[in-house]
Amino acid sequence: GSEKLEVFARENFINNITFSGGFDLKETPKYLNEIDILNNLFGNQNIALDTALSIRMYYALFLNKPIITTDDTFTATEANKFGLGFSINPENLKGIGDELMDWYNNLDVMDINHKREAYRNDVIENNKQFYQEIGRIFNE
The pTM (predicted TM-score) of the whole model is 0.82
User: Is the alpha carbon torsion for 112, 118, 121, 127 positive or negative?
Assistant: negative
What integer pLDDT is reported at residue 23 of this predicted model?
84
What integer pLDDT is reported at residue 1 of this predicted model?
55
- Domains of the chain with bracketed CATH: 3-138 (3.40.50.2000)
What integer pLDDT is reported at residue 106 of this predicted model?
96
> Distances from the Cα of 48 to the Cαs of 3, 25, 77, 114, in angstroms?
21, 22, 15, 31
From the first residue on, what is the mean pLDDT of each consecutive set of 10 residues in the chain (140 residues)?
76 82 89 91 73 89 95 93 93 87 94 96 96 92
What integer pLDDT is reported at residue 41 of this predicted model?
82
What integer pLDDT is reported at residue 48 of this predicted model?
66
CA 97 and chain centroid, separation = 17
